[in-house]
Structure 1
Amino acid sequence: RPGDAKADALVERHREVFSQYFPITRQMQVHLGRMYAADPRFAAHYDAVRPGLAVWLRDAIEASARAHGIDSDTAAWE
């Protein structure tokens, strides 16, 4: 479930992978997660792996951000 230890570990791994290409803050990761769920192209990609994965990943990223003191409603791309 979003917010549990396994989900948090996957969110951290996601951030590590993206950090190989560009610096990514937790706030930036929130925006990526939202894009995965909102953009039909990204949603189709993730949901092809497992139905509902795009929304689950968004929710897991936002839960992790909140656990690190980030208000996901005001997260900025910085």
Structure 2
Amino acid sequence: MADIDQTLLWNLLKEIRDDQKAIRSDIHVMANDMRSVKGHMASFMANEVVQDTRIAELMERLERIERRLDLTEAE
């Protein structure tokens, strides 16, 4: 009976170890995916900064044109 219990325990520990390896592998894949997402987000944010800068420059030019053409309303 002790041999059966020891074998059963050994098999259970082996299954736990195999499950743990699978979980580690999944976590590794998820970490790589997260790094990729972070890279895409950083790129998106950098592009947004460039776009905001361009919009601000256009707004300044438009305000200057309106002032030159006397199209601004009195404040």
Q: TM-score range by the shorter chain?
A: under 0.3
Return the index of the structure with the highest Cα Rg.
2
Query: Higher helix fraction: Structure 1 or Structure 2?
Result: 2
Higher RCO (C-alpha 8 Å, min separation 6): 1
| TM-score, length-scaled by structure 2 | 0.26
| TM-score, length-scaled by structure 1 | 0.25
